[in-house]
Each structure stands twice: as structure tokens, then as C-alpha cells.
Structure 1
Amino acid sequence: MAADPETLFERITDYASRPDPYPIYAELREHAAVRQQDGSYLVGRYHDITALLHDPRISSDRRNRTEPDEGEREQGLPPSFIGLDDPEHHRLRSLAMRSFGPPHTPGRIDALHGEITRLVQELLAQLRTKDRIDLVDEFAYPLPVTVICRLLGVPTEDEPKFRGWSDAIVSGFDPTPGVDPAERQRAAADARRAMGLYLGELAASRRDKPGDDMLSAFATDPGPDHGGFNQLEIMTTAVLLLIAGHETTVNLITNGMLTLLRHPEALERLRNDPALMPRAVEELLRYEPPVQMLPQRTPLADIEVDGVTVPRGAPLILVLASGSRDPRRFREPDRFDPGRDDNQHLGFGGGVHSCFGAPLARLEAQAALTALVQHLAHPRLVEDPPPYRRSPVLRGPRHLLIDHDRAGG
């Protein structure tokens, strides 16, 4: 007997599905848009998702839902720009971009090449002295959190504060049905507020003595005609960048190494041809993306998705990871191919809300995975599948234990 399509989201978000949600995504793609028991709609086909990501009638502001999300009342801070629509989204995103990349700061990411390489080598040197490592705690987490803290201008001694805050905030993203979200969302709101206050105060301290960092730029950039950030906008934007700047990259590196260890022929190919790594990272973003879905979209009008009407104000969930394995778009989509071409995956979303941190994530993942492949001798998984994090949205292993031949051993 076929499973009820109205339970797809419940099954996707069930923790038991975390190691392998892809068979459920294949079921989802049998439908254009599927109404769930809670009134939300799931979309999992590549071309439908792409069209919706570029449709101005689709809102990212949950306040446009017919039934407001209770969790939005527990945010602790106003929504960041990814939870807003144009023109306010464009204004805030543009202000953030002025200090992150071209045309105003074209060298910001390129200047990090040396720093990222140095951090990778320092972390790798510690791994070489051990027979067994936890890739998450000892490598994949420290690298991007250090990079984003340096980029923002957070003092090194304060970096440990962010682990607990980040874990609480990410837990607040968990949309699993049947689980009372109130306590989790209160904890997320408290953590978001605490992180925002810390980063806001740090930015304010830079107004008189700015440095070459993004918080200094946020505090001192007068901006274009619309003006610069106010203090609350600095707080919400800085929290967003810190969370988005490391949480997804942790999963990209960890999912990436897990995939390579499951495909030793691909690992060996990359060891022999490191110039292939940029293309391999794009394939990892398609095959095992760190962001599985966007659960916060809302139609501003009745929208038709291949014959199915999604009503105005209904929660709309775009399952990006399903779209990136759609056989209507990708040849042999369930095969990992590090040399795949024509790879327009959905790993960084799309449309006006596409991830503007993508160049940094790519740079970190390429540097990290190249070093791991080249310098870990005979790496072997200790447990497969590994234990996963709770979140079905930001999906990745909580721990990834690897045995390898210790240097000099």
C-alpha cells in the first residue's frame, strides 16, 4: 500500500530519516505540489522550485501567512533580511554586500586565501598526530567559525561563545511536526538576542576606531541614498552572517568527506587530480547539500504549480535537495560524479535570496577537502551512518569519526 502523500513532511523530518531522506524525496517528486496535514505545501521538482525561487509573488516574510507562525513571536530580534521581501530585503542585503564583496569590496574574499590555508594546515597538523579523529569537532567546525569571526572582527578569545548560541539558534529552525516547538524557539530567541547584543556592542565600539573588518564597516559605512545600518539592523545582519557563515560550511565539509569516504574511487581521483576539486565541491552541493529545504516561503496570491493551486498565505516548503536530484534535470542524479558538468544545482538557493556567502563557502570547502584528501593517510569511517544533527533543514553529521594512519606511525 502506497504511503499517504500528506505525511511526506512528517516522514522527511522524522529523525530516523536523517541519514537518508532521498527515497522520500523521490516520492515527493511524483507530485507537483503536495498539501500536508498541517496545511503546508511541499514542492520537490527542480523546474518548479526554480520558477518559485524567481517568482515575485512568493514571499520570504512569514508574517504574510494566513495563520501567523507562533515561533515568529519568539524571535528575540526582528527578522534578518533573508526573512524580508523587497524593497527592504534589497536595501539591507545591499548594505551587507558593500563590505563583503564586489563592487565595493572586491578583494575581501580573495584576501582570505592565505588565512584559510594557514588555518587548514594548523588544524590538519593536529589531526596527523591522532589515530582517530572527529572531523566535526576537530576540523569542520573550527575552520569556518574562525574564518567568519575573523571576517566580522570578533576577538579570538571570544570565539568559543558562539558554539552554544549557534546550536540553540539552529535548533529553532527544526520544523518537525508533532514536536512542541515553544521551548526550543524560546531558547533560540534568547540565543539570537544574546548574540545580537554582543555583536551590536562590538560594532558600536568600532565607530570611533574602525578596523579592517565587517563590523567596523557596518558601523561606519554611510551607505547609498537610503542611508546605512541602524544599530538593530547591524545586530540582525551580524547574527545572520555569523550563523550562515559557518553552520552551512560545517555541513558542506563534513557531508563532503563522508561522501568521499563512501566513494573511495572518487577520493583517489581527487588525490591524483586536485584541480578537479572545484567541480567536486559543486557536485557535493548537489548530491549532499548542507541546506536541504527552505521552509519559510509564502504565496502572496494563489499560485499554480503544474496544475496544483497553492493558496495565498499557505506555508510553502521548497525542498532544494529533492530538486537537485530530479532526473528531469540531472542525468543519473543519484550517482556521485565529481567531474559532473552542467551542474546548476540548488545548493545555494536561487533568485533574489541566493546565498551571497557562496564564494566564501566554496573557497573554504575546496581548501579543506583538498587538504584532507591529500594528507590523511588511508582514512576510514568508524561508523556509517554517523550520528546526525537534529535539524532536517541544515542536515549534516553531528560527529564523523575517522580512523587513519597517524603520521610517523
Structure 2
Amino acid sequence: MISTKRRKLLALAGLGVAGAIALKPGMKGAPHTTYFAGIAQAMKNAGIATPTMIIDRERLRQNARNIMQNIGGKMAQRLVVKSLPSHALIKEITGITGSHRMMLFSLPQLLSMSKADTDILLGKPMPIAAAAQFYRQHNVASTGFRPDLQLQWLVDTPERLSQYRELARQQNLNLLLNFEIDVGLHRGGINHTDTLQQMLAILQSDPRLQFAGMMGYDAHVAKIPDLPGLQKAAHEHAHQTYTSFAQYALNALKNSTSHAPKRPLTFNAAGSPTYRLYDGSGIENEVSIGSAFVKASDFDLPGLADLQAAAFIATPVLKVSDQFQMPYGVEWLGDAARAWDVNQQRGIFIYGGNWLADPVSPEGLSASGLYGTSSNQQLLVESGRQGLKVDDVVIFRPRQSEAVLLQFGDIAVYDNGKIVDMWPAFPATA
């Protein structure tokens, strides 16, 4: 007869086995969907057999139309160039948005985008040496770009503003200066009216310096946990902080004869995750948007649910192993992985890899946590349902666009089932 104690132990053991079985991964995976099969076939038809960034032109255009419809003419829209680093890509978007306002984050891209029809706001403070280099290299006669009228340098501290004042004095430059304010992200910027007062005094000490507005970035609003009321409170705090700083600056400058604004002020707010929180009713008069146009996976947010992923990486399969194996000496780890997880039965080696991106097609591919990563021949594991063979195409979705779009050279433009164009990307820069 089994004792009560032994029955309890057997019951617990049974529960443990049942729990382990319940945790055992189920089989997943499927061949390319019709949409991704179309991209894969278009790559083959175009003779492209290297890792390639692809933009779906119609999805891109529809995203641009949706974004402009959401803004509804209530605010201006400024394009974030670092997230869309290609002249042709930018031209495609501006053809729909009609906006030639740009936000720039690097000196090479600033020099490249300085054209007669652009209005530029720096999205981060540039070291004074970089600003000086811009003026050494920029040629007004050849570009038609007037920095004194079209370029707003971002300044965040009294010390940096003093550096720009010295540059203006040394080179007799008229500078437009936009003040970065901290609206809750806490990544620098003016966070107290005492600092703002000090900076306004520095600005007014030299007629070459002109106040151009403010920039307050609020990316934290969409990223913090969406506990009841938390995101709403963060947005309200950002808006109230912005309003307070802007009104303080306007009041301080309203009676100034030498520093009264000579052009409409720029009160820039938001980014792709938060642009829909602004309706034009506040002091903020423009929103910056970049990644939302191509919707990388980091932007799968409720506020962007009406947009579609429009950027993908396509790369060939180089090798297929019918049985996923770990290297010599630790083969048993591969055996254990296959025994536990049916989705690690086969190994697929692709051309390139280790990008800020995740495989999306065929369904059920994943990186191996055991084998490690490679930028040369990335290993992906699968169940076998995908049916991949050598020279087939695997498709990834970038997590972000600002760095990833620069990694592949020319961008392949996918439209109506074909690769119809190749858009040169900007040179890779920090």
C-alpha cells in the first residue's frame, strides 16, 4: 500500500512532468506569405543576391498620406532626415507632404541637405567645432542656401550658447538659435527658468544672435509603461512645461528692439511615436516625423496602428543544415536543443546578419541563442515547415530605420511586384 507521503511525492512529480510538457515549445513555421513571396521573387527577378534594404513604395506613400491626414493641416510637419537617409526617399515623401522642413543630426547630412528650398533645424546640439566646419565648407553661391535665414542651430546650455556667440563674433555670422528644452525626457536641455533667463541674456548681448524658437522632444511619453493615466500625465507635463518656457521667452523678448523675431518662430515638438498627441491648439506649431513613414518595428505602437511596415531587409540563404548542430565538443547542446524545441530542428545560414532587425518571413525563423551571432553568416533555426533551400530569400524587418537604412548601399524600391528603382543611401555617418 502506498503511503500518504509517497502519494504526495508522486503527485508532485506528475505535476512537474505535466508542467514541463506544457512548457515544451509547439511547432511553428510556414512558407512565405503571398506578400513576402512577391518580394522574394522580385529580388530574384532583379538579379539581386546580396543583403538589400527594400522600401515598399506604395506602403510608403500610403503611410505619408495617412500621416498628413492625421495632422490635418493643424501643424507643420518636419521630416527627420536621419531616419530616412536617402535623397530619393526624402523626395518621394516630400512629394506627398509638401513640406521642405528638415531636421538634421549630423554634419555630413547637414552639408548634403543645405539647399535653396530647405528649412533646417538641428535635432541635437552640434559641437562648436562642427558648426565652424560647416561654415568653412558650405558655399552659398553654389547651393543657394542661406544659413542666416534657413538654418537653426540647437543650443542647450549657457556654455554652448556662449561658444556660438564667439563663433558669430569671430566670423561675423548671423545665427538663428533654437533652444532645446527638457519636457520630461531628461536627456539634457533647459530645465529651469533661471537657465533660460541666463541664455536669453547671452542671446541679447549680441545682435548677431537671433532667437528662432524651441525644441522639446517627448519620446518618453510613448515608451513609459501604459499604466492608467501615466502616459497622459507625461504628455500633459510635457505640454505644460513647453508652454511655460515658451511664454517666458516670448515675454522676455517682446520689448527687445534688436532681438524681436524677424521670422515666424519654430516651436518644434513630438516625434513619430507622439505626433498624434498634438492638435495645434497649443504653443507647439510643428511636429517632427521620420521613422513612422517606413514604420520599423520599434514603432509598433497604438498611435501608429494605421501605418504599415514599409522597410525590409532581404538576404539569400547560403547553406541549409537538415539538422541543427553545435560546433565540435558541444554537439550535445544542439542535440538537447532539438530534443526540447522542435523549432530548432534545422539550421539556416544566411548572407550577412547580426542587424538591428528580426526575421519576419518565412514565419518561425529565429536566431540561435546557443550558436551566437555573426555579421558574415548568421545562423537561424527553424522547424522545417518553412521549406527553405539554398538561394531562397529570408526577409527581416528593421527595428529602427536611422542606422539600418545606411548599412546596405542602394535601397531597392519594390512596387507592383517588381524592383523598379535603386535609391542611393547617404554615406554612413554618426
Q: TM-score, normalised by structure 2?
A: 0.29
Q: Higher helix share goes to which structure? A: 1
Q: TM-score, normalised by structure 1?
A: 0.30
Q: Higher strand share goes to which structure? A: 2
